[in-house]
Amino acid sequence: MNQYVTGAVIKRLWEEKNMTQLQLAERLSVSAKTVSKWETAKEYPDITLLESIANALSVSISELLSGNTVTNSNVSANMLRSHFYVCPVCGNIIHSMGETVIQCHGLQLQPEEAEETDENHKIFTEQVEDEYYVQVEHDMSKQHYISFIAAVSVDKMQMVKLYPQGNAEARFKMNGVKKIYFYCNRSGLFSLDLVKGIDDWKCGYDDTEERRQLEAAARMLFG
């Protein structure tokens, strides 16, 4: 923990809740004078009070310590609105269905912003029976590698953790998968929207329906 809760943060939070200094003191079973000392930075709340303060102010302890509160708008828990957080120190990967406050190794992590794939980060998908075979064309050295590949549908997230000197590939049950994510340890998060009909990277495009339409038109013209 590289920072501690301040009286200014506590005051802002109780004011946002339309509480008074006295009301907060009563909820915490401390005196109003004690809360006043926190507010004026003459004292800090004891660490044993942090959970009680967070509960009284309807925030998490991480939000209390950082001073950044988060409102999660994804109340329906739609997986397609997922967020991925990656610790740059240990490589820890955290998945969330909405905005949240996450800390790792004393760092407050920010949600990764997915970019479109590019020439240096190509991804190929192929339908194999009831699965998607996914391959990322990328170096897998100890210095530069793909950390994970994930497949996301409306109600499910599948993830495969990858490691240096392995293969940047994975298999996922199709089950309504709409989006593929993968993470490069140097360039960050990338995503690909799976469009119906674009499954086979070797063929590039499934033109079955187009062929049927052309054949029907040919029959009408030539009998």
Residue 134 CB neighbours (<10 A): 24
Helices 21-28 and 32-39 pack at an angle, to 10 degrees, of 120
Q: What is the pLDDT of residues 55-80, one digit of tens each?
A: 999 888 878 887 776 554 444 456 77
pLDDT digits (tens, 9 = 90+) for 159-177: 999 999 999 999 999 988 9
Confidence of residue 199 (pLDDT cuts 50, 70, 90): very low
Q: Which stretch of 36-45, 113-122, 214-223 has the lowest confidence by average pLDDT? A: 214-223
- pLDDT tens sequence across 130-158: 999 999 999 999 999 999 999 999 888 99
Residue 109's pLDDT is what? 86
Nearest to 56 by CA among 15, 29, 27, 25: 27
CA angle 35, 36, 40 (to 5 degrees): 120
Q: Which residue has the tokens 């996301």?
A: 152
Per-residue CA distances from 33 to 10, 24, 41, 44 (Å): 14, 11, 12, 13
Query: 197: which 2 tokens?
Result: 């009909």
Give the pLDDT confidence score for residue 213 in this predicted structure.
67
Looking at the chain, which runs of residues are DSSP E strands? 83-86, 93-96, 102-104, 107-109, 115-116, 122-128, 131-137, 146-152, 157-161, 169-173, 179-184, 188-193
In this prediction the pTM is 0.61
64: how many CB neighbours lie within 10 A of its CB? 24
Residue 106 pLDDT exceeds 90: no
Q: For the chain, which domains are there?
A: 7-66 (1.10.260.40), 79-193 (2.60.40.730)
Q: What's the order of all strands across the beta sheet hosting 122-128?
A: 122-128, 131-137, 169-173
